[in-house]
Amino acid sequence: ISLLSNRRFGIGFDQLLVVGQSKIKDVDFSYRIFNADGGEVNQCGNGARCFVTFVHDKKLTNKDEIIVETRSGIIKPKLEANGSVSVNMGPPIFNPIKIPISVPKETNKYSLDVNDRRIEFGAVSMGNPHAVIIAKNIDDAPVETVGRLLENNELFPERVNVNFMEIRSRESVNLRVWERGAGETLSCGTGACASVVFGIKVGLLDSPCKVFTRGGELTIFWEGGESDVYLCGSAQSVFEGEIDVGGGTQ
């Protein structure tokens, strides 16, 4: 997978989605998600949107709402009339044991000393672990340096995705994300969800909230508490092709 993800010698991607059949009754598909370094992850918001576009482009289904099995559970992405895709991402997780983050108790904000600098962040799981840092200026945010250090810090036993969020208004933010196993990516759906959820939880944001990333725009809906988080955005096919892997064309 790491060879295929290479942008010079492979296909070039942040994540690989493998689409298959589900053995669960009334579930339309299953898919597995792999980061660029080959590590398998539980959930990917942008991947879910791309998945819906893919199965419709390939005419594998004619359903607008699709029931899909992932490692983190069942999701129901929906193709909207305007061509965008909305995904019910389920409720956010704040329990430190379930995120997971090695802290004695749950709180809205955590802190960690990194390179003689104290970093404050929120912690949320949307099927995968996220740390959320408020940034004054997204362009100057230390995404690679702090992102890499937090990703691999022992505080996070399964590593962590690190989100840098600049608040534009109560209904919009700018976001950059350092993803575990991939580095900085142009957009991260679960990162957008986790960041907005954290912002709403601490009273800085309202729902719905627009998230502007370097790869495009997303809209996040969350009514608070144990309610589900909804992600909405567009996806489009870029190209298709074949590649020889291990002597067999795929």
Q: Which residues are catalytic?
A: 44, 188
Q: Could you write out the three-class secondary structure of the chain?
A: CHHHHCCCCCCCCCEEEEEECCCCCCCCEEEEEEECCCCEECCCHHHHHHHHHHHHHCCCCCCCECCEEECCEEECCEECCCCCEEEECCCCECCCCCCCCCCCCCCCCEEEEECCEEEEEEEEECCCEEEEEECCCHHHCCHHHHHHHHHCCCCCCCCCEEEEEEEEECCEEEEEEEECCCEEECCCHHHHHHHHHHHHHCCCCCCCEEEEECCEEEEEECCCCCCCCEEEECCCCCCCCCCEECCEEC
Q: How far apart are CA 180 and CA 184, in angstroms?
A: 9
Q: Which residue has the tokens 């020889």?
A: 244
In angstroms, the CA 86 to CA 218 distance is 10
Specify burial of residue 20 (Cβ count, 10 A radius: 0-12, 13-18, 19+).
exposed
